[in-house]
Structure 1
Amino acid sequence: MRKMDEYTYDLYSKLEPAVEKIAYHDMGLTYEQFTKEDLDAITYELCKAPQDRSLDFWGYVSVVDQMDQNADWPDITKGIERVIHKYLKH
């Protein structure tokens, strides 16, 4: 994985548990379908995506910075699911 600045690392550490829960629990993916490398790649992409990318949930990412790891993230869950689906199709 590429080197992250402090802000990106903090955001990554908050997003990774959410992406993992959504992929394995909510979407029912297996570890063969969605590997640790996939999890890392998607989480990193969510943290480093350009501001002009048309990700539906991007406006909510700034809210993540203020949330703890146990927070409920209903506003971005669907956006993360769409990113996972898109990633797995490629």
Structure 2
Amino acid sequence: MTVDLTVPDGTRLRLRAGEWGTPRQASTDQDVVVWTVAVYRQEIGGTVWVRGHTCSWPDPDCAAGWCFEAPVALAAIRQNVEGKR
């Protein structure tokens, strides 16, 4: 399902352990800060895919288009966008 969600590029998302996962792991056990490159609006099980950077910002030092790609809990993204984190 497509969700009504707008996250501008460069938005900082503070994600807590368990709110994001990897393709091989349902959730993680560490907090992370991600500066967004793309947030997809296709919801799957309460999550959407996020691409971004966890390295230096505003000039990423990884020399890639993104260094973070994972499913992220939609509720966590909304809290960040609404300024609750």
More helix by share: 1
What TM-score do you get using the length of structure 2 for normalisation? Answer: 0.32
Which has the bigger relative contact order, CA under 8 A and spacing at least 6?
A: 1
More strand by share: 2
What TM-score do you get using the length of structure 1 for normalisation? Answer: 0.30
